[in-house]
């Protein structure tokens, strides 16, 4: 359940704390290091869990699950494990698009969809700065498609190749310098 940015969600952190308390009766420091939390985060999550009656602390400062905590842990365990397994299979390429139901329309071929390039990829291909690529896109010299809320630009490779060919004759040529041998 780690997000795209690599951060864990609040649910995943709560799940990890409950799992540790289910498996053993850890002290606060063990939870902090095992779940990889800062001290401030640890305090926040332990307060949240104890206020909601999911964990309690005994006289020796060990953390235990309450009966309600056990029930909550059981309810979230199966979905969290299933999501983690699914993420792992996606990352390792063990799930094909047909298994996800993406390729269900008859006659649809993903190979026919052109690969789209990002601004930085186009800048690299053209040997230009990303700002130049955006400017060319804004003026319509280099066709692009806008996607998402932010309006990210994506470019088709054929359009980039056409642009590259059209600009080839406009580049200034440097006269060859003659070097004297000897």
Which residues, other chains included, contact 30 with Cβ-Cβ below 8 Å and sequence gap of 6+?
20, 24
Q: Is 8 helix (H, G, I), strand (E, B) or coil?
A: coil
Q: State pLDDT tens for residues 17-68.
A: 999 999 999 999 999 999 999 999 999 999 999 999 999 999 999 999 999 9
For the stretch 115-128, pLDDT in tens is 788 899 889 888 89
Please report how the helices 39-51 and 28-35 are oriented relative to each other, as an axis angle in degrees rounded to 10. Answer: 110
State the pTM of this model: 0.48
- Domains of the chain and CATH, by start: 10-91 (1.10.10.10), 114-168 (1.10.1660.10)
């Amino acid at each position: 359940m780690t997000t795209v940015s690599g951060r864990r969600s609040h649910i995943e952190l709560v799940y990890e704390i409950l799992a540790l308390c289910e498996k053993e009766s850890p002290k606060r420091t063990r939870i902090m290091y095992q779940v990889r939390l800062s001290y401030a985060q640890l305090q926040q999550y332990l307060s949240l869990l104890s206020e909601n009656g999911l964990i309690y602390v005994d006289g020796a400062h060990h953390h235990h699950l309450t009966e309600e905590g056990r029930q909550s842990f059981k309810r979230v365990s199966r979905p969290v494990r299933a999501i983690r397994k699914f993420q792992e299979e996606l990352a390792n390429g063990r799930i094909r698009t047909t298994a996800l139901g993406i390729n269900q329309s008859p006659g649809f071929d993903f190979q026919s969809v052109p690969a789209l390039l990002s601004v930085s990829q186009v800048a690299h291909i053209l040997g230009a700065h990303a700002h130049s690529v955006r400017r060319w896109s804004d003026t319509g010299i280099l066709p692009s498609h806008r996607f998402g809320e932010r309006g990210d630009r994506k470019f088709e490779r054929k359009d980039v190749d056409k642009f590259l060919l059209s600009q080839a004759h406009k580049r200034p040529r440097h006269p060859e310098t003659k070097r004297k041998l000897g």
